[in-house]
Structure formats: C-alpha cells, structure tokens
C-alpha cells in the first residue's frame, strides 16, 4: 500500500466511527424512549454495545467491500486491517483510552475486524469474477 492509502484508511475509519456512534445514539434513544423507559443512563450501555457490534461490524464489512473494489491494485486485506486498526485507535482516543483494555472492547474490535476482512474477501472475489467475465 502507498502512503496515501494509509491516509485514506484513516479518513474512512473516522467516517465509519462517526456513523457508528450516530447509529448507536439513535438506537439507545429509541430503546430508552419507547422500549424500556425510566432507567438511569448507565443501564442503556449494553444497548449501545450491541448496537455498535451489529451496526459497526456491518459498516466495516460494507466499507471494506466498497474500498476493496474501487482500487484493484491495492491489497484489500491489508487495507481492511489498517482500516480496523485506525478505527480501534480512534475509538480508544475518543474516550482517552479509558476502559478499552477489556474483553468487551476486544470482542467489539474482533467482530469489526472479521467484518472488514470478509468485506475484503468479497471485494477480491468479485474483482476476480469481473476480470474473468470481461472478453479480451
């Protein structure tokens, strides 16, 4: 990967983190307002965790798939790995690395890494299929 690809991965990771947090806030709001109301704020942390594990993993999958298809010359697997590493770094930085060295955080990042690697695999597979279908 070229240095510009690392910069792109950082920017995309920041965007994915912002969208993931926005989705988590929305899910927690809906859950707290309509499903299970009247609890203190700490009660809803489990909803945010599961929201980011599901929505965030899906976002990483889609992002790695799209980015992997856009630049066939770039190593899609490495880009997905760097994307996930930057995501984890930005996520940790956003809370000043407070309580991120837990099994819960590790599970969340491992799920996002799996999603991004599956997205990269699908991108590589679809690039190969498209290449084989193009007549010479």
* Pick from 68, 71, 55: nearest CA to 125: 68
Cβ neighbours of 80 (radius 10 Å): 28
The mean predicted confidence, pLDDT, of the chain is 91
pLDDT digits (tens, 9 = 90+) for 38-62: 888 888 889 999 999 999 999 999 9
* Pick from 119, 121, 104, 118: nearest CA to 53: 104
**pLDDT for position 65:** 96
Within the chain, what is the greatest distance between any pair of CA atoms?
A: 65
Can you tell me the mean pLDDT for 98-103?
Answer: 83
What is the pTM (predicted TM-score) of this model? Answer: 0.88
């Amino acid at each position: 990967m070229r240095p510009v690809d690392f910069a792109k991965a950082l920017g995309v990771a920041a965007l994915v983190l912002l969208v993931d947090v926005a989705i988590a806030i929305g899910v927690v709001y809906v859950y707290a307002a309509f499903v299970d109301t009247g609890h203190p704020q700490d009660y809803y942390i489990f909803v945010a965790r599961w929201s980011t594990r599901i929505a965030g993993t899906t976002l990483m999958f889609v992002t790695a798939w799209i980015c992997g298809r856009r630049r066939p010359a770039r190593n899609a697997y490495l880009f997905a790995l760097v994307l996930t590493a930057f995501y984890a770094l930005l996520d940790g930085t956003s809370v000043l690395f407070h309580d991120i060295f837990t099994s819960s955080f590790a599970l969340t990042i491992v799920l996002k890494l799996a999603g991004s690697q599956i997205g990269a695999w699908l991108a590589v597979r679809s690039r190969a299929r498209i290449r084989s279908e193009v007549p010479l």
